[in-house]
Structure 1
Amino acid sequence: MKKVETATEDELRPEYDLRRLRVRKVGPERKSFYSLSVQLEPDVAAMFPDSESVNEALRFLIRITRENKPALPGSGSNA
């Protein structure tokens, strides 16, 4: 079967230059515009099955760090 060539008229205005558009990647290497991406080393990633468990561990670490933070000298609290 032969391909039928159809003539299409360009209805876009000249200021809409589509050649300047970037093509977004698809697949796992694709960057997301609305989320932050952090790459874990393989040994660390092996300990966490998903991003939820990583976030839970980091929140726990933040909480422990804040609770065990010593009072700074001159901050007004007598320890």
Structure 2
Amino acid sequence: MRTEYDFRCGVRGKHYRTMQAGYTMTIRKADGTTVVKDVMPKEGIVVLEPDTRAYFPNSESVNRALRCLIPLLPKKHTAKPKRA
């Protein structure tokens, strides 16, 4: 990075919530055309808050912890369809 770039007032995660909702990206090409892309978060993606990252540095550690918790949860029941 160049020395003239000043990131002292930067806020980590400032746009986090907005990005989780998805966003639109407009790409302007040299020939004058534009391409619009809708970017949505991938299915199944979980983002850890900063205070938990020290305990769960990677997806393997998160999955290991969750698998230990699953037996403690009540059995999942399927909902019966309601009659009209």
Shorter-normalised TM-score: what interval?
Answer: 0.3 to 0.5
Higher strand share: 2
Q: Normalising by the residue count of structure 2, what TM-score does the alignment of the two structures yield?
A: 0.37
Instruction: Tell me: higher relative CO, structure 1 or 2? Use CA pairs within 8 A at least 6 residues apart.
Output: 2
Q: Normalising by the residue count of structure 1, what TM-score does the alignment of the two structures yield?
A: 0.38
